[in-house]
Amino acid sequence: MIRENIAFPEQYLGEEDLPGEEWLPVVYQDEVSDKYFVSNYGGVKGPRGMRLKWVVRSKKSSIHYPSVTILQPGRDVRQKADVHVLVANTFLTLTEDTLPEPLRGFNLNEEAIRFVRSLLSVDHIDDNPRNPNVDNLRYTSARQNNYMNKIQEFADK
């Protein structure tokens, strides 16, 4: 199913920061950007300090994740990046204490933790793909994330 003109009316595009909104440099593909900033609420500011409007990554998908077009850090390549992934990579740091339970206690070095993060999916706790608030995100395995999506799809029928 292809939908045209997908809008995200819940996105805040005002110039003022929201109460409690915190901004950090975007972490994208393990690189920190000095041009883009992401907030704990899912806002993304571009090089001019203006909030970027969310767009749909793929109109062919039935689940519409908000995404923004950014320049990859260190490269002149534009790429659509899912907002929830930017928020998770920036605010949800993986450490020995926050790794999934089966991986704790192995004293993984930073390179191993980066590899583990590349294998994990970012899950929306409330199953709303339009809610990229950091409090609504967590790292899970692809299998767990898929299982949760199947439960939701079954409940909607």
Short-list 43, 143, 141, CA closest to 90:
43
pTM score = 0.83
Give the model's pLDDT for residue 148: 58
Q: Enter the tokens of residue 27.
A: 């972490």
Name 99's Cβ contacts closer than 8 Å, sequence gap at least 6: 108, 113, 116
- Helix or strand run (H / E) with residue 146: helix 142-156
39 vs 68: CA distance, rounded Å = 13
Beta strands 44-45 and 31-39 are antiparallel
Domain spanning 23-156, CATH class:
alpha beta
Average pLDDT over every residue of 1-22:
72
pLDDT tens for residues 15-28?
A: 899 999 999 999 98
Q: Which residue has the higher pLDDT, 51 or 97?
A: 51
Mean pLDDT for the stretch of residues 127-147 = 85
**Which sequence spans correspond to the domains of the chain?**
23-156
